[in-house]
Amino acid sequence: MKPSVQKHSLSRREFLSLSGGLALAAALPRRASALGEVTLGDKKLSIVSDGHLVLPLDFAFPAPPRDELTALLAAYELPTDALYPDCNVTVLRDGERTVLFDVGSGSNFMPTAGRLFDNLAEAGVNPAEVTDVVFTHGHPDHLWGLIDDFDELVFPDANYYMNRTEWDFWRDEDTINKMPEARRIFAVGARNRLPNLEDRITLFDGGDEVLPGIEAFATYGHTPGHTSFIVHGGSESVIVTGDAVTNVAISFVKPDWRSGTDQDAEIGAATRARLLDRLATDETAIIGFHLPHPGTGRVERKGTAYRFAHS
């Protein structure tokens, strides 16, 4: 029997607290849903847009001096009034499997996001054909698209996978008390949605093979169980990074800057530095959830920092 779940939409006060009064973002032009594609042997990965977010600078990066922050954004020709990160959902097709990495925002987070369901059609994906959903973590833009407006699973026939620590964190009744006020709605939303998966979730640990050819790569800090995934195919691999890196300028040029979106900012920064070093050394391709759509490319060293080389 399906658990009774109370749906929680962002109230006006909660949304304004999160987005710094930027609700006018609903009027911004809709971004193109153009697809990115990566081929690994017999595997095909399509990157589908779920729209984009609008984040106040003080919410995303509260510590760096504002003039230094805006100068870095301007150098990369990015807006300096707020951050507008893309949301890139990766779809893997491998024989009989269709695997989604995260499910997007759904309709109750931000008005500029929640486009995944419509845009999947462009990738030729029928939600009923999705066999597996693998979560990087439980933040709204990765989880809230789990259910529709009738509290039904959007991908009803899929199996679901989440890091064990991540699952326990969001299911813990005390998690809401560990969150800053602006992010407490994240915990409420997760607790409202995850009961839908209690009878079909598979939990894994870092280093596990989640599905054939998909390896869980622990990138903790953004959330306690945040996980990236190494997808192996033929002689090549690509890492679906989730939110281990989030900004095409700041994450690469200033990986040590603490992020206001990380649950543990210190661990998040250390994880980011290690990840970028490994990616630059191994020259492994990545797909970044919040990098400019479609988020595909490689990490290169640039002096003592890094740069994102689009593919």
Residues with pLDDT less than 70, the chain:
1-34
Domain spans, the chain:
12-310
Dihedral sign, Cα of residue 101, residue 140, residue 119, residue 299: negative
Report, in angstroms and rounded to the nearest whole number, the Rg of the chain calculated over CA atoms.
Answer: 18
Residue found under tokens 């833009």: 141
Q: Give the model's pLDDT for residue 19.
A: 43
Tens of pLDDT, residues 188-238? 999 999 999 999 999 999 999 999 999 999 999 999 999 999 999 988 999
Q: Give the model's pLDDT for residue 311.
A: 87
**Of 129, 109, 139, 112, the residue nearest 49 (C-alpha):** 112
CA distance linking residue 284 with residue 245, whole number of Å: 15
Report the amino acid identity of residue 271.
T
Residue 80, token pair as written in the block:
């300096």
Q: Give the model's pLDDT for residue 33.
A: 53
SS3 of 26, please? Answer: helix
Q: Give the model's pLDDT for residue 84.
A: 98
Q: Give the model's pLDDT for residue 32.
A: 42
The listed CATH number (1.20.1260.10, 3.60.15.10, 3.10.129.10, 3.30.1360.170) that belongs to domain 12-310: 3.60.15.10
The whole-model pTM stands at: 0.89
Q: Give the model's pLDDT for residue 122.
A: 84
Q: Give the model's pLDDT for residue 35.
A: 78
**Of 230, 232, 248, the residue nearest 240 (C-alpha):** 230
